[in-house]
Amino acid sequence: MSSTPKGKLKKMKSLDLDNASVFLWIIKRKLKDKKADYSVLNAEIENKLSEKLKKIVKEKFGSCNQLRDYSHLTEDQDDDVLTLNYKETDFPQIFLKIQKGSDNPKVEKTEDLFGTWAYVIEIKHDFQLLTFTKVPETWDLKKKKGLMNLIFIENKFKDLEDNSIFRIQRKIDFFCFEDIIFVLDKKKFETGLNFREGMKANRDEVLKDFEAFGIIDDIEKLRERVGENMKYLRKISMIKNNGYYKNEDFITRLIQVNMKEKWGLKIEANKIIITEDNFNDVLTILNNDRLKSPITEETFDVHVKRSLGRG
């Protein structure tokens, strides 16, 4: 049980934070050839602030209850927590640098904070818990309700009631505990860890497969239509994750059902012909998202599905 996301969540929520040490890491990001490179700075903090950071983490534990697997296409997250292995993200880059501890450069002057991309709260005892929060691109120095004010004095962050140089939000985008990421804010999680580039890599891999398997007649036309559109990148990523197209029987059945149900896909020499009108339908069908109700016999295109066989 403890090896499952649910078991690890239970273990995480039972951690004794009171006797743990707290570290604050400033995360910066640079894009090179559209790939993210992260750097980590060590920011010293006073004891009063450490206790406040622990309190924020404990408060967020209370909202972590209902789990769902992370999916590129999901319904509204509401209060659900999305889970995935941290190796499926950019986070190992950050994690490995944090593991260097005091060997990382320190924040020594205010200017070192300029260009901050995110910050990580690390809580350590006989465990290691990390939280990640993306810094808003438009944050300013004005005091706002719900934010903690810090000032950088004598090479340390200190809690300050009336001024702010750096701002700690009373929110967390995701936790990382052991090898599982628990996502509280999907949008911030995807932005913070450069998920668009990962989805573009999925696009290229899937289109390469389509060409190798002879599924689509014109790969370049499909590539052009998908482009960098987030809606289609998400669909392509789900096609990759589910991998239905790799099963020859699936493609055979797709051709048969297309004729039987009169879906209207044009197929020649067992290849799907891409047109301006059927592009979205092709992506939907290749992800097995055209489903028929056994009760009403109606057919629906769905955006999110959950197999009953998976519980």
The reply to whether 29 and 74 lie within a common domain is yes
The dihedral formed by the CA atoms of 289, 290, 292 and 293, expressed in degrees to the nearest 10: 50
Domain count, the chain: 2
The reply to whether 171 and 269 lie within a common domain is no
The reply to whether 160 and 119 lie within a common domain is yes
pLDDT of 302 reads: 85
The reply to whether 145 and 201 lie within a common domain is no
The reply to whether 157 and 122 lie within a common domain is yes
pLDDT of 309 reads: 55
Q: Which residues of the chain carry a pLDDT beneath 70?
A: 1-2, 74-77, 138-154, 158-165, 308-311
How do residues 134-165 score in pLDDT, each as one tens digit?
998 755 544 445 566 666 666 777 665 544 45
Structural domain including 223 reads 197-310
How do residues 186-220 score in pLDDT, each as one tens digit?
999 999 998 888 889 899 999 999 999 999 999 99
Residue that finishes a domain, picked among 193, 220, 255: 193
Residue that finishes a domain, picked among 176, 193, 210: 193
The reply to whether 187 and 202 lie within a common domain is no
Say how far apart CA 224 and CA 46 lie, in whole Å.
Answer: 53
The reply to whether 188 and 201 lie within a common domain is no
The reply to whether 183 and 213 lie within a common domain is no
pLDDT of 232 reads: 92
Say how far apart CA 172 and CA 59 lie, in whole Å.
Answer: 10
The reply to whether 30 and 171 lie within a common domain is yes
Residue that finishes a domain, picked among 193, 208, 239: 193
- Per the DSSP assignment, residues forming a β-bridge with 152 are 157
The reply to whether 114 and 131 lie within a common domain is yes
pLDDT of 149 reads: 61
pLDDT of 164 reads: 43
Say how far apart CA 178 and CA 83 lie, in whole Å.
Answer: 12
Segment (H or E) for 66 = none
The reply to whether 77 and 216 lie within a common domain is no
Tokens of 123: 């809580």
The reply to whether 131 and 258 lie within a common domain is no
Burial class (CB in 10 A: 0-12, 13-18, 19+), 303: middle
pLDDT of 136 reads: 83
> How many CB atoms within 10 Å of residue 180?
20
pLDDT of 31 reads: 87
